[in-house]
Amino acid sequence: MKAAIDHIVKSLHQGERRAVARAISLVENDAPSAVELLNGVYARTGNAYRIGITGPPGAGKSTLTNKLAKHFRGEGRTVGIIAVDPTSPFTGGALLGDRVRMSEVELDAGVFIRSMASRGSLGGLSKKAKEAADILDAAGYEIVLMETVGVGQSELDIAAASDTTIVVLVPESGDAIQAMKAGLMEIGDFFVLNKADRPGADQAVMSIKMILGFRPHDADHWLPDVVKTQASDGKGVAEVAALIQRHREYLASSGTLEQRRTVRLERRIREIIDDRLRVDFWDVNRSGELSARLAKVYRKELSPYDLAAMLVEDFKRFPAQTGETNHHGTISNRGGA
């Protein structure tokens, strides 16, 4: 197994598309070798610039992503695209398949597109998408575009995974107000008002700018701007790319880029620890212990907090032992079946 992973990592570092696809599949499917793979590619990460693109459903995120990829290719830069779609209730895979909407760049050898399922992530960004971005980074793609599912009222974690976060809105349907409710106004580094040929576009831009004016800012801090686009026709895409470059230069000169990436690393490590503790906690027949005591909670002999504290205390006292009798007098099957 190690030899196979080493071969994938070596091929990936050489930019072989098949190796990139294989690596992302291993990560997405939680293969036993996924951690070894991610360890192998980590040293080569940190060179790609990661751009998050989010916004309400139907705002034109996929079209803008397609046009931005085409623009960056025109500049000679390689582009990796991670398009996170809603999860199919039947296959567990990506429901919409953004490749269909990115026909202009799909066959470009300098572009790699991967549709990934959200798999229940409320933040609009699959947990595995961040690891896929690491793989694209290690494979040498200079720009990584991460497009999230359409968001509703949930908070987003796209900003924590990106260097620059773009929020795409449209003139109608009170998107500015909906964006405020969804927390989008706080996470956007700048805003794109797409479909700007529709009525109410200028008024929408003024509304967004007015809302942004309430954010704390001064001459030394970045103030998000609003760009009008008609992405389907390519209008305004160059302006969006120029604003991305301006923001990148600001982050680099102010030291904010290093700070953001450090915070991103800390958050990733915390997520890894949380995931491992959750697996360890429930992987010792503790679900059975929970079920066995639920009747006491139902009869009000214990509160939910009492039972939770008991289970946690049991985990702390016997984290990885087998066949131990715990302090509640029950037998726990530690470390497997």
Q: What is the pLDDT of residue 154?
A: 40
Rounded CA gap, 163 and 185, in Å?
A: 16
> 129 and 31: one domain?
no
Rounded CA gap, 99 and 115, in Å?
A: 7
Query: pLDDT per residue over 234-277, tens digit each?
Result: 999 999 999 999 999 999 999 999 999 999 999 989 988 998 89
Place of tokens 């039972």: 307
Within a domain: 270: no
Q: Which of 229, 113, 218, 221 has the alpha carbon at shortest distance from 168? A: 229
Within a domain: 86: yes
Q: For residues 138 and 204, which has the higher predicted lDDT (pLDDT)?
A: 138
Q: What is the pLDDT of residue 282?
A: 86
> 25 and 52: one domain?
no
Q: Is the pLDDT of residue 331 over 70?
A: no
Q: What is the pLDDT of residue 126?
A: 60
138: pLDDT confidence band, cut at 50, 70 and 90? very high
Q: What is the pLDDT of residue 55?
A: 85
Instruction: Give the mean pLDDT of 266-294.
Output: 87
Rounded CA gap, 98 and 275, in Å?
A: 29
- How do beta strands 111-117 and 79-85 pair? parallel
The rounded percent of the chain whose pLDDT value lies above 90 is 50
> 145 and 233: one domain?
yes
101: pLDDT confidence band, cut at 50, 70 and 90? low
> 212 and 320: one domain?
no
Q: Is the pLDDT of residue 332 over 50?
A: no
Domain coverage including residue 34: 1-43
> 184 and 307: one domain?
no
Find the helix or strand (DSSP H, E) in which 199 lies.
none
175: pLDDT confidence band, cut at 50, 70 and 90? low
| SS3 of the chain: helix, strand, coil, percent, to 5 | 50, 15, 35
How many folded domains does the chain comprise? 3
Instruction: Give the mean pLDDT of 62-81.
Output: 95
Q: Which of 155, 203, 207 has the alpha carbon at shortest distance from 177? A: 207
> 39 and 114: one domain?
no
User: Residue 142 sits in a domain of what CATH number?
Assistant: 3.40.50.300
